């Protein structure tokens, strides 16, 4: 690593310090994981980090994501049928999400009409609207193909489902 190359965690370390938070390995690892795997649950984060950090408990991960969310380093989303809150590092752009109703995969969708809040309700009830949170729901292409296969050949679809990767 050259003198001009920042340490791998340096951007996160700087952001943590700027928000008045201690720089800990748990926070750095969680931020790295969520940046690489957006829309992760606390359970998925814990599972991913447990081998390298066996002392990191599920409760610690919940505390970490809650602290990082409260301090503006993570965004928490609660899409329908997701089973738990999900976290991402993409902030301050008022983007939306699209979710497959079959496998529950979630992807980012840029703001529908420009800058935040990018859409306004017909009535604001006296409130200044600052954000629009939208989850578009549909069926992803993989799930659509699986459904078509099941309809065309139910026995082959059952065999293929046993070898299909988990979503």
- The tens digit of pLDDT for each residue in 52-82 reads 999 999 999 999 999 999 999 999 999 888 8
Q: Which two tokens stand for residue 83?
A: 């089973």
Domain 93-163 has CATH 3.30.1490: yes
* 159 has a pLDDT exceeding 80: no
Q: Which residues contact 158 (CB under 8 A, 6 or more apart)?
A: 150
> What is the C-alpha separation between 34 and 47, in angstroms, rounded?
12
Domain positions in the chain are 10-77, 93-163
Output the CATH code of domain 10-77: 1.10.10.10
DSSP state of 40: B
* 4 has a pLDDT exceeding 60: no
pTM, full prediction: 0.76
Element (H, E) at 2: none
Dihedral sign computed on CA atoms, order 149, 150, 156, 159 = positive
Q: What is the mean pLDDT of the segment spanning 30-48?
A: 97
Element (H, E) at 104: none
* 147 has a pLDDT exceeding 60: yes
- In this structure, of 112-121, 135-144, 145-154, the range with the lowest mean pLDDT score is 112-121
Task: Share the mean pLDDT of the chain.
Answer: 84
């Amino acid at each position: 690593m050259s003198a001009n190359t920042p340490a791998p965690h340096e951007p996160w370390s700087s952001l943590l310090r700027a928000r008045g938070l201690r720089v800990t390995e748990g926070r750095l690892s969680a931020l790295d994981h969520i940046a690489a795997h957006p829309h992760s649950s606390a359970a998925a984060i814990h599972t991913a980090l447990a081998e390298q950090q066996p002392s990191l408990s599920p409760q610690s991960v919940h505390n970490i994501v809650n602290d990082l969310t409260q301090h503006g380093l993570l965004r928490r989303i609660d899409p329908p049928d997701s089973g738990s809150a999900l976290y991402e590092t993409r902030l301050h752009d008022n983007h939306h999400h699209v979710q497959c109703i079959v496998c529950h995969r979630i992807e980012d969708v840029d703001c529908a009409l420009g800058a935040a809040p990018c859409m306004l309700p017909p009535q604001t009830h006296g409130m200044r609207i600052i954000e629009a949170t939208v989850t578009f729901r549909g069926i992803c292409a993989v799930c659509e193909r699986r459904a078509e296969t099941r309809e065309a050949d139910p026995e082959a679809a059952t065999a293929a489902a046993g070898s299909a990767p988990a979503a």
